Structure 1
Amino acid sequence: MTAPDAVRHLRVSTPVDVALTLRPLQRGAADPTVRATPQGVWLTRREPAGPDAVHVGAGPATLLVSPAVRAPDGAGGWSITARAWGPGARAAVGNAEALLGLADAGWPQFDAVADPSADPPGVGPPLPAHVWRVRRLRPGLRLPAAGALATQLMTVVLEQKVTHDQARHGWRTLVRLAAAHDAEPVPGPAPAGMLLPPTAEAVLRIPSWDWHARAWVQPSQSRTVLEVARRAETIDRLGRDVSPGDTAGLARLARRLESIPGIGPWSTAEALQRSHGAADLVSVGDFHLAQFVGQVLTGRRTDDAGMLRLLAPWAGHRHRVVRLISLSGERKQAFGPKLAPADHRRY
């Protein structure tokens, strides 16, 4: 492995599960921009210029975040190493804390509210024991704040009202099609097949026929992705103006993003959960989520309104609750036939 252009050692006092925390950023095992390996999690990134047009650390980067290990010789806590290659290496390791959700101070507050064994009890109703058990078994779970809001929105749009396979194929193909128009090499020793996230300019140069014929992307989705690409600079600037812990600011940002044609509450929640670690935004409108949340919390399926009522006692932490529910091991009840979408790529 070639020597990295930047290295940062993070010392943390609480456990951090790097792979579990960064998993929401990976769109399937074959995602060209995120790869989990025994060495750690690899991510390709495009680091923006800093404030006042300072370009130190701007540019493409490959980032490797190694698993947390116990700090040596009784120093206490855990150590995480972030290594990066490329022009954006310094910025990539500098953003590692946010990426891993280490700046999120909300977990202790959540624990005080939700712990069913707290004495005295928390200020709100505790979580059901089988959901709280996930918190005890997965203490290293964090909410990632990866930045790059416009890119996160593009990936989410490709997941609107389609199957898992369609969404994953659409993102992989979009990255590859964009790379063909912006053949910038991936810095450093990234695993084979990894590519940089697409630039807005490269997305706008993809021919219209490739969206449906090669990427398996519906016309409504491609129109929205192109609209996000046209507004990418503004979207990313708005994203940088709001800190991950600003719950009210994130709610206002979500409403602004929903003014973009084709972007609704589900899309903004999913994007901001990944770009900012939005701890309170719930993915309203998800085909399965409300039913599953109702099933896990009450034993009965529910709709979006019912889900929001069930999650209301944990206001400020509702996405944390949903993440724990997703890791509970309980399987969603399945009813009816599965969707078999038409695939026009072969024609």
Structure 2
Amino acid sequence: MTIADAPPLVAAAADASIRWHPGASYRLDQTMFPLMRGNADPSFAAHPTGFWMSFTTPSGAVTLRLSAGGLGEDTFVDAQAWGPGAEEAISSVPRLLGADDDWSAFDEPGFHATLPRLVTEARRRNLALRLPSTGRLVDSLVPTILEQKVTTLEARRGYRYLMYRFGTKAPGSVAPPGLLVPPTARQWLAIPSWEWHKAGVGPQRSATVMRALQSAVALERLAGLDPSRAGAKLQTIPGIGVWTAAEVVQRTHGCPDSISVGDYHLASFVGYALLGRKIDDAGMLELLEPWRGQRQRLVRMLYLSGFRKPTFGPRMTIQDHRAH
């Protein structure tokens, strides 16, 4: 749906807007997908009128709506924003949508010829994908820390609880009902220990959030560094390791190479996809080494290939810290 198709109130009421032209085929849904913390993410909504998200800029909170139109090289994305942070949010839209994401090295014929067929076939079918860059470290780091060493289900349940308790209503009168602005660093730091407990977040993870956000201003400055330096800086914070840093820079910097070492499923998935057998993290890194610099792109293509690894094996136990 484009602005022309949107309800009149949505089309007319924005505080700031932009139409971005990627100059080639573009899939807004594929690009935005990694930013959603599940289908019930309180700060991100896939809606008939577009993709809606809410966050805080230095100028204040904002509600942002994105919708795509056109075909092929005529594709465009309309962005509208409401709230004190509208102008800043709109200025960040091209980067958010992957304007700086360059696949030319990945698609270069010599490099392309080295890729497994599963990857090249997936790339052929998914030329419209871009890696997004939010530039928002706090908004990415907190939910990623909550996902450390627990199931996705448990982490997202805890994140939703905290968002409903401490998030704020998204600016503007046209946002989908229930859309919330995530807490600022100061608001996260003010959450009492018993609320983390009620959210099912153990003391190790909540303490990591608190340590990281003590330097929130410095944290946000990492958006200006290249992904490898930003990831290395993140790992100097106790409780943040290679997995957390990789998951963050994939979203904040559109990093084409970072690999989530330590992920419960990733090494096994990559092993079965490329070798037909399970491997560990060390084996995954060795296997992907020839494609260093483009490893995250390769993993994204594996996920988009439709390949599914065997489902046998133990499942992680969901821990409930609230009863202790």
Q: Same fold (TM over 0.5)?
A: yes
Query: Residues 228 and 68 from structure 1, CA distance in 2 versus in 1: closer, same or farther, beyond 3 angstroms?
Result: farther
TM-score (norm 2): 0.91
Letter in 2 for 1:168: R
TM-score (norm 1): 0.86
Q: What is the CA–CA distance in structure 2 between the aligned matches of 1:206 and 1:134, rounded to whole Å?
A: 44
Query: Residues 155 and 161 from structure 1, CA distance in 2 versus in 1: closer, same or farther, beyond 3 angstroms?
Result: same
Q: What is the CA–CA distance in structure 2 between the aligned matches of 1:343 and 1:257, rounded to whole Å?
A: 28
For the residue of structure 2 that corresponds to 1:66, the secondary structure is strand
Deviation at 1:253, TM superposition (A): 2.0
Q: Is the 8 A contact 2:105 2:111 kept in 1?
A: no
Residue matched to 2:119: 131
Residue matched to 1:166: 154
Q: Is the 8 A contact 1:18 1:68 kept in 2?
A: no
For the residue of structure 2 that corresponds to 1:93, the secondary structure is helix
Identity of aligned residues (%): 44
The 5 A counterparts of 1:13-28 are: 13-28=23-38
Residue deviations 1:18-51 (CA, integer Å, cap 9, x gap): 1111111110111011111222211102122xxx
Q: Is the 8 A contact 2:63 2:170 kept in 1?
A: no
Deviation at 1:216, TM superposition (A): 1.1
Q: What is the CA–CA distance in structure 1 between the aligned matches of 2:289 and 2:166, rounded to whole Å?
A: 41
Matched residue pairs, number? 314
Residue matched to 1:84: 81
Unaligned runs of 5+ in 2: 1-8
Q: What is the CA–CA distance in structure 1 between the aligned matches of 2:212 and 2:165, rounded to whole Å?
A: 17
Q: Is the 8 A contact 2:62 2:83 kept in 1?
A: yes
2:185 aligned with 1:200: yes
2:231 aligned with 1:221: no
Q: What is the CA–CA distance in structure 2 between the aligned matches of 1:312 and 1:41, rounded to whole Å?
A: 36
Unaligned runs of 5+ in 1: 49-57, 113-117, 243-248
Residue deviations 1:172-197 (CA, integer Å, cap 9, x gap): 12222323xxx465334111111002
Residue matched to 2:255: 278
For the residue of structure 1 that corresponds to 2:200, the secondary structure is coil
Could you say what the CA RMSD is over the residues aligned between the two structures, in angstroms? 1.8
Letter in 2 for 1:36: A
Q: Is the 8 A contact 1:61 1:88 kept in 2?
A: yes
Q: What is the CA–CA distance in structure 1 between the aligned matches of 2:310 and 2:216, rounded to whole Å?
A: 39
Residue matched to 1:102: 99
Residue deviations 1:211-242 (CA, integer Å, cap 9, x gap): 122x1111111111111221211100222x22
Residue matched to 2:278: 301
Residue deviations 1:140-197 (CA, integer Å, cap 9, x gap): 1111101111221111101111012111112112222323xxx465334111111002
Letter in 2 for 1:316: G
Residue matched to 1:319: 296
Deviation at 1:339, TM superposition (A): 2.5
2:254 aligned with 1:258: no
Query: Residues 128 and 185 from structure 1, CA distance in 2 versus in 1: closer, same or farther, beyond 3 angstroms?
Result: closer
Deviation at 1:271, TM superposition (A): 0.3
Q: Is the 8 A contact 2:201 2:321 kept in 1?
A: no
Query: Residues 281 and 342 from structure 1, CA distance in 2 versus in 1: closer, same or farther, beyond 3 angstroms?
Result: closer
One of 187, 194, 199 as aligned partner of 1:209: 194
Letter in 2 for 1:298: L
Query: Residues 172 and 111 from structure 1, CA distance in 2 versus in 1: closer, same or farther, beyond 3 angstroms?
Result: same
